[in-house]
Amino acid sequence: MPRKNIYLVAEEAGVSVATISRYFSNPKIVGKSTRDKIEKICKKHNYRPSRFAQAVKTRKMRTIALITPVLIQLKLLELIDSVESNLAKHGYNLNLFNFNLNHDRQVEILKSIDERTIDGVIMAGGGISGGDQSLELLNIINSRGLPVVFTEGRLNNSKIPSAIVDSYHGGKIAAEYLIKNNHKKIGIITREIKYSIMKSRVDGFVDALNKSKIKEKFIMEIACQKPTKDFNYIKDYFEENTKKIIEKDITAIYATMDPIAIYLIDYMGQSGIKIPGDISVIGFDNQLFSELTSPKLTTIDNDLAKLGKIAVDNLVNKIEKGKYKNIENVVIPTLVERQSVATL
């Protein structure tokens, strides 16, 4: 049997070629009965339109790039899955670029952009894990005129749209939960507050404490000298400082990243400190391993699945309708209550 083409599919379905084209570009605009008939015929003959031919006609490859600086956060897989599934609903494919903080890889990404093999970009992360390299790449992509959405933080004085988690509100939720459980002697351990996300997570927490007339006992910053692909710097920090933390007069610790909380629980356990019997711990991110600690970590979920959907919808709207839905889109985080916080 000769290979079916779009004209023969249209003839067998009893519809126009334009209807078949609409079906493949945006199935929702084709009536259900017609859609079902076309789908059945295409499956019967194993027909798929030439993606390259479609791209030549529409000047769109229907492919979006998701760029990450490093893939050390398992939580990021939730974002990737969300972006891919939501792109599929719009009829787009996903290309994942992990540039590993590598300049040569960054050049490859820009080459793909210049060759027009992608229609838009979602930049995942940057401010902490990618540092200046991610922001530099983001600005270069934007200067090329390609639609782009940023998913880490607010970009001051920028028209680049962002999809962000309200980190300030997340910090506030964490503090209110500790206060509700009668904790008043509370310490904070965070990555450097120079990063806007960490500052927001700390500010929200501290403001909630102050509202209840509670003053944090300490704020410790874990520094990392350069962008990294692992969490060894956190491990090194607790190897040197766990004893100092234990000696402080506290009943609870707020860690602004789950990896900090996870290492903290581990090193305190090695030192004979019971969690949450002696010291309660609450984290932020709801990463996969937060449910595998002993005890399981109470944390703040930043809902990256929702973040991915918002980023995709905004980007596709720009590609197909010429404008972004919003310049700033905000996801409100939620508390995930497990076993690492005790009630006093």
Note the pLDDT tens digit of each residue in 296-323. Answer: 999 999 998 999 999 999 999 998 888 9
What span, in angstroms and rounded, lies between the C-alpha atoms of 78 and 123? 15
Per-residue pLDDT, 141: 81
Q: Do residue 172 and residue 274 come from a single domain?
A: yes
Whether residues 275 and 226 fall in one domain? yes
| Judgement on whether residues 211 and 283 belong to the same structural domain of the protein | yes
Tell me, yes or no, whether 114 and 131 share the same domain.
yes
How far are the Cα atoms of 5, 54, 87, 141, 150 from residue 16, in angstroms, in the given order? 13, 17, 27, 39, 40
Domains identified in the chain, total number: 3
- Average pLDDT (142-156) is 77
262 confidence band (pLDDT: 50, 70, 90)? very high
More confident residue, 59 or 120: 120
| pLDDT for the residue 264 | 95
Mean local confidence (pLDDT), 142-148: 84
pLDDT of 13-57, one tens digit each? Answer: 898 877 887 787 677 788 888 888 888 888 888 877 655 445 444
pLDDT for the residue 328: 84
Average pLDDT value for residue range 128-148: 72
Report pLDDT digits (tens) over 97-108. Answer: 876 656 677 777
Q: What is the pLDDT of residue 2?
A: 47
How big is the chain by its Cα radius of gyration, in Å?
Answer: 24
Asked if residue 67 is part of any domain, the answer here is: yes
Range of the domain at 144: 58-165+304-332
